[in-house]
Amino acid sequence: MQGLTIVGAGLIGCSFALAARNAGLCSHFEAIEPDPVTAQRALELGLIDAIVSEPAVELPVLLSCPSHLVVPWLQQLAAHTPPIFDVASVKGAITQQLAGQTGPAGFVPCHPIAGRETSGPDAADPDLFLQRLVIITPTGNTDPAVAALVRGWWQAVGARVEEMDPQEHDRIYARTSHLPHLLAFAYLLGIEPTDLQHSGGGFRDFSRIGASDADMWSAIFNMNRQELKVALDTFRGHLDEFIAAIDSGDMEACRRLIHKARSRRSTLER
């Protein structure tokens, strides 16, 4: 890679730059970053070599901006010929919005399962993608040769790559990522300021994702609202089962529900 334009010099964009530089994949990174403080910090830390106002025509582009900005960027880059890949947590909605449009032929939809509740250039980590899963959701328009190239870049920074249907992606991540974030945010709104000093490790782990970025997550919730609401309805049904067991003082029913819940997680390491 002779260089890469990164749209959005946040945690993911800067971590990719750092990892790609360390892996010898690329040594020149240009970034488009609307926030001047973030832009300055990415330069100071040596993560980015130049702040630019638009992608150079000859360079591949990494769209590491909030999810709702991916489609507008792709429309703007319709004539761009080098590969373009994104990192948005929503894939089906982007594919649907692009359907029927003449987008860039070199677009490869990607989603690294490597989030973190911290953000910005200071949180950049060269090992962020190490042994992490990256989901690629090719569409009918995706050039297989370009997809193979982008797959190789992710592998170069240490990731495992898996292909998936974009709608299936959105169903799975509504359940395993978007719903937990929504629950953690809603939960934290009910916490009293003095509660924290009495909280234990369970609280800390459970609410960690509740410290995630507001711009990023408001965009994800809105883009994947359909699948998120399916997951939420399922959750509410199960919560009501628990409440019924607790209200009726049926400890055995409550115990059975917990037992079933635990078993859903049993194959996962701690």
Between residue 5 and residue 64, which ones bind its own copies under the rule CB under 8 A? none
Work out how close the CB of 54 gets to its own copies at its nearest, in angstroms, rounded to a whole number.
25
Q: Is 161 in the site for its own copies (CB under 8 A)?
A: no
In the list 11, 98, 147, 228, the residue contacting its own copies (rule: CB under 8 A) is 228
- Rounded to whole angstroms, the Cα distance separating 99 from 96 reads 5
Nearer to its own copies, 84 or 114 (CB): 114
Work out how close the CB of 68 gets to its own copies at its nearest, in angstroms, rounded to a whole number.
8
Strands 61-63 and 160-163 come out as unpaired
Work out how close the CB of 51 gets to its own copies at its nearest, in angstroms, rounded to a whole number.
25
Nearer to its own copies, 57 or 239 (CB): 239
Q: What residues between 202 and 221 interact with its own copies by CB under 8 A?
A: 202-212, 214-215, 217-219, 221
Residue 61 Cα distances to 33, 84, 124, angstroms: 13, 5, 19
Nearer to its own copies, 59 or 128 (CB): 128
Q: What residues between 232 and 261 interact with its own copies by CB under 8 A?
A: 232, 234-235, 238-239, 241-243, 246-247, 249, 251-252, 254-261
- What residue has token string 């001047």? 36
Q: What residues between 127 and 156 interact with its own copies by CB under 8 A?
A: 132-133, 135
Helix axes 225-247, 251-265, angle to 10 degrees: 150
What single DSSP character describes residue 178? I
In the list 68, 80, 91, 151, the residue contacting its own copies (rule: CB under 8 A) is 68
Q: Using CB under 8 A, count the residues that bind its own copies.
A: 89
- What residue has token string 């890679």? 1
Q: Is 176 in the site for its own copies (CB under 8 A)?
A: yes
Q: Is 93 in the site for its own copies (CB under 8 A)?
A: no
- Rounded to whole angstroms, the Cα distance separating 43 from 165 reads 37
Decide: helix, strand or coil at residue 51: strand
Nearer to its own copies, 100 or 262 (CB): 262
Stretch that binds its own copies, among 2-10, 13-21, 76-84, 169-177 (CB under 8 A): 169-177
Using CB atoms within 10 Å of the CB of residue 267, give its burial: 0 to 12 exposed, 13 to 18 middle, 19+ buried.
exposed
Question: Going by C-beta distance under 8 Å and a sequence separation of 6 or more, which residues neighbour residue 141?
Answer: 98, 103, 105, 107
Nearer to its own copies, 52 or 235 (CB): 235
Stretch that binds its own copies, among 56-64, 102-110, 139-147, 182-190 (CB under 8 A): 182-190
Please, which residues bridge with residue 28 across strands? none
Task: Work out the number of other CB atoms within 10 angstroms of the CB of residue 250.
Answer: 13
Decide: helix, strand or coil at residue 132: coil
